[in-house]
Amino acid sequence: MDATFIFSQAVSGLTIATLLFLVASGLTLIFGVGKVFNFAHGSFYMIGAYFGYQFSAVWGTNFFLSLILTGICVGLVGMLMEFLFLRRIYGRANEGGFQILMTYCFILIIDDLVKLIWGTEYKSLARPPGFQGAFQIGDTFIPTYNLLIIGIGFAAVILAWYILARTRPGRVARAASVDREIVGVLGVNVPLTMTLVFGLATAMGGMAGTLAAPLRTVTPGAGIEVIIDSLIVVVIGGMGNFWGAWLGAILIGEVTAFGVAFAPKWATLFSFMILVIVLIFKPEGLFTRRKVM
C-alpha cells in the first residue's frame, strides 16, 4: 500500500471509467433526447468488439482504422434499428415498457446472431503496435495501452462537449431533450435528429467495445454486464445528464479498480452500495438539480 500502488490502481480505474463513459454517455444521450431507454446498448458494445476483431484480427486492418470503421458500422446498425423498429412504437400507450421489451428482443437477437457468425468461443484481439509495452513507475507497471484508452476517451469527451455546446446539431439535440414538440414546431426534423443521435450513441458504444477488446475477452453475452454497469453510472449521474454520466463513470471506475485490489471477489458489490446510497438520499442523481418525478 504505497503511492505507486495507488497511482496504478487510479490509472486502471480511469481506464474502466473511460470505457464505461463511452457506453453510458450514449445511453444517457438517447434517453435525454428521445426518452428512449436503449436496453440493447450493451449489445452494440459487444458487436463493436466483434467488428473490431473482424477488421483488425481477421482482415488485418490497422487497429485505429478498424476502430473508426467499427464506429461507422455500429452506428449504421444502430440507426437502422431506430429507423426500422423503434420508430414504429413511439407514442404508443405504455411506450416505455414496450421500448424496453423491444430492445430486449434485440439483445436476444443480436446475441444469437453473433454466436451464429463468430461462434461461441472466446476471441481475443492484440493490442495495437506501439502500445504493447508498459511504463515502469517504482515497481509497478502501467500499460501504455491503458493510457491510450484514457487519451482517446478524453478526446471523445472534448469532442462531445464541442458538438453539444458549439454546433447546431448539438444545440438541436439539447433543445429536443428539453421539449421535443416545440423544437418540431420550429421546423426541425426531430425524428431525423433522433436517428442521428441514436447513430452517434451506438457508434460510441461500438468503439468502446473495440477499445475494450484487447483488455477483456470478446464473448457473446458481454453486453449485459456492460449495460448494468452503465445503468448504475447513468442513475448515479442522473438520467439524461451528460456530465453526470462522466463523473459517475469516474466514480464507479475508481471504486471498481480499488475494490478489485482489496476484495476481488466482491468488487461489484461496491458499485451497488453506491447505487443504494444514492437512491436513498438523492434518487434523481448526484449531479442533477431537476427532480425525477
Partner 1 sequence: MTNDTARRISATSLWTIIILIFALVPIVTTSAYKINVASHILVWGLFAVSFNMLWGITGMLSFGQALYYGLGAYSVGLMVDYLGSGWFLPAIALGLVMVIIVSFLLGLLVIRVGGVYFTMLTLAFAQLAWQITFKWYDFTGGDDGIQGIIPPGILENRIVYYYFVLVIVFVSIWILKRMAYSPFGLILRCVQQNPARVRFLGRRVRRNQLRVYMVSSFFAALAGSLMAGVDSSIHTDMLFWTTSGEAILMSVLGGLNQFFGPFIGAAIFILIEDNIGARTEYWPLIIGSIMLVMVILFPKGIVGEVLRLKAWFGKNGGGRQP
The binding site for partner 1 (CB under 8 A) comprises 31, 37, 85, 88-89, 92, 94, 96-98, 100-102, 104-109, 111-113, 115-116, 224, 228, 231-232, 235, 239, 265-266, 268-269, 272, 275-276, 279-280, 283, 292-293
- Which is closer to partner 1, CB of 106 or CB of 145? 106
Closest separation in Å from C-beta 115 to partner 1:
7
- Which is closer to partner 1, CB of 117 or CB of 165? 117
Closest separation in Å from C-beta 19 to partner 1:
19
Chain position carrying cell 439524461: 240
- Which is closer to partner 1, CB of 89 or CB of 147? 89
Closest separation in Å from C-beta 164 to partner 1:
22
Distance of alpha carbon 204 from alpha carbon 17, whole angstroms? 14
- Which is closer to partner 1, CB of 6 or CB of 279? 279
Which residues are 143's β-sheet partners?
134
Q: Is the separation of the CB atoms in 173 and 164 below 8 Å?
A: yes
Closest separation in Å from C-beta 67 to partner 1:
28
DSSP the chain: --HHHHHHHHHHHHHHHHHHHHHHHHHHHHHHHH----TTHHHHHHHHHHHHIIIIIIS---HHHHHHHHHHHHHHHHHHHHHHTGGGGTT-TTHHHHHHHHHHHHHHHHHHHHHHHH-SS-B--PPPTT-SSEEEETTEEEEHHHHHHHHHHHHHHHHHHHHHHHSHHHHHHHHHHH-HHHHHHTT--HHHHHHHHHHHHHHHHHHHHHHHTTTS-B-TTHHHHHHHHHHHHHHHH-TT-HHHHHHHHHHHHHHHHHHHHH-GGGHHHHHHHHHHHHHHH-TT-TT--S---
- Which is closer to partner 1, CB of 38 or CB of 193? 38
Closest separation in Å from C-beta 41 to partner 1:
11
Closest separation in Å from C-beta 179 to partner 1:
18
- Which is closer to partner 1, CB of 146 or CB of 219? 219
- Which is closer to partner 1, CB of 48 or CB of 285? 285
Closest separation in Å from C-beta 2 to partner 1:
29
